[in-house]
Amino acid sequence: MRTIAQINKKIKQKEVVVVTAEEVIDLVKKKGLKKTTEEVDVVTTGTFGPMCSSGAYFNIGHSKPKIKLGGGICKLNDVPAYAAFAAVDIYLGAAALPDDDPRNKVYPGEFKYGGAHVIEELVAGKDIRLEATTYGTDCYPRKRLETWINIKDLNEAVLFNMRNAYQNYNVAVNLSDRMIYTYMGALKPNLGNANYCSAGQLSPLLKDPFYRTIGIGTRIFLGGGVGYIIWHGTQHNPVAPRKENGIPCRGAGTLAVIGDLKQMQAEWLRGTSMLGYGVSLTVGIGVPIPVLDEEVLRYAAISDEEIFAPVVDYSVDYPQATGKVLGEVSYAQLKSGFIEIMGKKVPTGGLSSYAKAREIAEELKSWIRQGKFFLTEPVAPLPGVESGYTCKLLRERPCS
Partner 1 sequence: MISKRIVLHFPHRLVDQPIVYRLVKDYDLNFNILKASVTPQEEGLMVLELSGEEENFKQGIAYLERSGVKIQLLSEDIVRRDEKCTHCGVCVPICPAGAFSIDPQSRKVVFHDDKCIACEICIKICPAHAMEVYF
Query: What residue ranges bind partner 1 (CB under 8 A)?
Result: 48-50, 108, 110, 112, 185-186, 188, 192-195, 270, 272-275, 280, 282, 335, 337, 347-356, 358
CB of 100 to partner 1, least distance (A): 19
Tell me if residue 139 is catalytic. yes
- Closer CB to partner 1, residue 192 or residue 371? 192
- Closer CB to partner 1, residue 62 or residue 188? 188
CB of 368 to partner 1, least distance (A): 23
Listing DSSP states for 117-160 in one string gives HHHHHHHTT--EEEEEE----SS--B-EEEEEE-GGG-SEEEEE
- Closer CB to partner 1, residue 185 or residue 238? 185
Dihedral sign (CA 196, 197, 203, 204): negative
**Partners of residue 82 on adjacent β-strands:** 91
- Own/partner contacts of 313-321, CB < 8 Å, gap of 24 or more, are 313/173, 313/174, 313/175, 314/172, 314/173, 314/174, 314/180, 314/182, 314/184, 314/187, 315/174, 315/175, 315/176, 315/180, 315/187, 316/175, 316/176, 318/170, 318/172, 318/182, 321/393
CB of 202 to partner 1, least distance (A): 10
Q: How far apart are CA 400 and CA 395, in angstroms?
A: 15
Q: Tell me the HSE value of 356 on the side-chain side, using a 13 A CA sphere.
A: 20
Q: How far apart are CA 376 and CA 250, in angstroms?
A: 28
CB of 36 to partner 1, least distance (A): 24
Q: How far apart are CA 86 and CA 25, in angstroms?
A: 50
Listing DSSP states for 233-275 in one string gives PTT--TTS-B-TTS-BSSS---EEEEEEGGG--GGGEEEEEET
Dihedral sign (CA 208, 225, 160, 353): negative
CA distances (Å), origin 384, targets 80, 230, 387? 37, 16, 5
Q: How far apart are CA 215 and CA 206, in angstroms?
A: 14
CB of 172 to partner 1, least distance (A): 11
Q: How far apart are CA 171 and CA 196, in angstroms?
A: 4
Residues 6+ apart with CB under 8 A from 391: 235, 236, 237
- Closer CB to partner 1, residue 225 or residue 278? 278
- Closer CB to partner 1, residue 218 or residue 282? 282
- Closer CB to partner 1, residue 174 or residue 218? 174
- Closer CB to partner 1, residue 75 or residue 358? 358
Q: Which residue type occupies 44?
A: T
CB of 346 to partner 1, least distance (A): 8
Give me the catalytic one of 74, 139, 197, 391: 139
CB of 114 to partner 1, least distance (A): 12
Q: Which residues are catalytic?
A: 139
